[in-house]
Amino acid sequence: MLRKSMVSLAVTGSLLFGMTAYAAANPSDHAFDNKIVKRIKVDNIYKTIELLSEEPRVAGTVAEDKAVEYIEKQFKSFGYDTRVQPFEMFQYNPPTTVELSVDGLGDTDFAPDTFTYGVNGDVTGQLVYIGLGGPEDVEGLDLSGKIALVKRGSYTFAEKIFNAAGAGAEAVILFNNTSGGINGTLGEPSDDYVPAVAIGRDLGEQLADRLAAGEELTAHVKIAGAKVERQTSHNVIATKKPNRNKDTGQIVIVGAHHDSVEGAPGANDDASGTATVLELARVMSNMPIDTELRFITFGAEENGLIGSYAYAESLTEDELDRIVGQFQMDMVGSRDAGELIMYTVDGEKNIVTDLGAAAGARLSGVVNYGQEGRSDHVPFAELGIPSALFIHAPVEPWYHTPEDTIDKISREKLQQVAEIVGAAVYQIARLDTPALEHARVAPKPVDYEFEERELE
Ligand code: BES
Ligand code: ZN
C-alpha cells in the first residue's frame, strides 16, 4: 500500500528531476554531501589504523584497554560526550583431559567431546538412560550417585544437564541424534552443572539398548583442566545531541568494533571501521543536526558480538523507539577485498541501505545489498532497528591472520566508505530533511539490487 505522502514525494521527485533516481539528481543533496566529503581526511583514518594495528586488540586484554583509552581520548578531543561501557565476558579454556569408559565394553573408544562451559569432575557410577532428559523424564527419579545417559533433541544441552543433576545424577553422557560429532555449548557458566560428555549416535544407542535389555553398566567420566575466566571488555560511546529547538527525537548509530582476534593485528578487521567511525565523528562534530548521533566502537565482537549485545540490551524503550538506523562498518579498507556491499540480517532493504545506496549513487556508483550477519549490526536487527553492515566482499585472504596489516590498507577504499556512510548519515541527520517522516517515507532512492556474493 502506498502512503499518500510517498506518492506525492515520488511525483515531486520525478517532476523536478525526471525519471532518474531521485537521490542521484537532487543538486542540493550534492551540496550537503560536499559538506561531509570535503572535510574527510583519509590520512587521519589511515594513521589511526596504523596506530591501532601495532598489535592485536583481543577483548579483555591490556591491548584492548589501550585502544579504548585512545578512542575515547579522540572522541573527547572532537568535543563529544563519551561513555565507556564495561561488560563481562567469559573466556573458556577447554579441558586438557577427557575420558570415558564403560565396564564390560572392553576398549571401546567413545571419542568423547565436551561442551563449552562444561565443568571438571571424576565420576564413576551406574548408567541410567533418561531419554531426552526433559523434566518429565526425570520426574520421581533418584539418580543419586548415577550417571545419566541422554539423547540429543528437544531440550538444550544445559537443560538436560540441569534436569539430570536436579535428580541427583553426578555426570551426564549425551549422545547425538544424527551422524557426526557434537560441537556444543552450554551457553554460559554455571555452578550447577555436572561433568558432561558427548558421544556419537551409534555408540549411544548401543548403550541405551543394552540398558533397555536389563544390563547393568558402570561408566567412568573424567574431565580435567577446564577453566572459565571472567573478563571485562568495553564499548566506547560518543554522543552528539541535535541542535536545540531542532530536535526530531531520532537517533542514528554509527558503529564498528575495535577488538581483533588473537594473533591478528586487525588493520582491516576492524581498525578500519573504528578509524572511519572516528573520522566521521570528527567531520560531523560541528555540523548542525536535528538527529542525535551516537558513534560507538564495540568490544568483544570477535567473541560473539558480546559488546553490541551488551549495548543493545542496555537500551531503554524510549531509545529503542527513537533509533532509526545503525550503520556498521567492519572491514572497510582492504586493498585485496572486493567491492563495497551492504548486508542486512534479514536480506531485505531498509532505511540504512536506502540511504547508503543513494549516497553511493551520488558519490561513486551503485552499492548493492545482500544478506549476512556476522557483525555488530545483528543485535540491532534483532531489536527491529534498521541496520546494515558495510563491508567489501569477497573479503581479503588476510582475514583473521597475522597478515591483516596496514600495508594491505587502501586509502581509496577507506575514502569511498567514509564518504558514503558519512553522506548517508548526514542525509538523515541534517536540518532540512523532515526527520522520522523522512526515514519512513524516504523516496525510493536508486535501483540497487540483492546480490548473493561470495564472502570468503
Ligand atoms: N569482520 C568479521 C565479519 C565478517 C567476516 C563478515 C567475513 C563477513 C565476512 C567479524 O569480525 C567476524 O569475524 N565475525 C565472526 C562472527 C562473530 C559472531 C564471532 C565470524 O564471522 O566468524
Ligand atoms: Zn570484524
| pLDDT tens string 226-239 | 999 999 999 999 99
Which of 20-29, 250-259, 269-278, 439-448 bottoms out in mean pLDDT, i.e. has the lowest?
20-29
- pLDDT given at position 8: 35
Using omega within 30 degrees of 0 as the cis cutoff, is the peptide bond preceding 443 cis? Answer: no
φ/ψ of 424, rounded to 5, equals -65, -45
Q: How many CA atoms lie within 13 A of 140 on its CB side?
A: 1
Residues 404, 405, 406, 410: is their CA dihedral positive or negative? negative
Q: Which three cell numbers stand for residue 296?
A: 560507538
- pLDDT given at position 399: 98
Query: How far does residue 16's CA lie from ligand 1's centre (Å)?
Result: 43
Mean pLDDT value of segment 336-356: 97
**Residue pair 52/271 in contact by the 8 Å Cβ criterion:** yes
Virtual torsion, Cα 413, 348, 378, 3, nearest 10 deg: 110
269 lines ligand 1 (CB under 6 A): yes
Query: How far does residue 391's CA lie from ligand 2's centre (Å)?
Result: 9
Comparing 3 with 273, the larger pLDDT belongs to 273
Q: How confident is the model at residue 15 (pLDDT cuts 50, 70, 90)?
A: very low
pLDDT at 182 over 70: yes
375 lines ligand 1 (CB under 6 A): yes
Mean pLDDT value of segment 355-370: 94
Query: How far does residue 305's CA lie from ligand 2's centre (Å)?
Result: 10
Query: CA-CA distance, 239 to 281, in Å (whole number)?
Result: 9
Residues 6+ apart with CB under 8 A from 126: 145, 146, 147, 216, 217, 218, 219
Q: How confident is the model at residue 28 (pLDDT cuts 50, 70, 90)?
A: confident
The burial class, CB within 10 Å (0-12 / 13-18 / 19+), for 218 is middle
Question: Which ligand 1 atom lies nearest to the CA of residue 330?
Answer: 1
pLDDT in tens, 377-386: 999 999 999 9
Residues 6+ apart with CB under 8 A from 105: 217
Q: Which three cell numbers stand for residue 154?
A: 528437544
378 lines ligand 1 (CB under 6 A): no
- pLDDT given at position 186: 96
First to last CA, the chain: 39
Query: How far does residue 88's CA lie from ligand 1's centre (Å)?
Result: 21
Cα Rg for the chain, rounded, in angstroms? 27
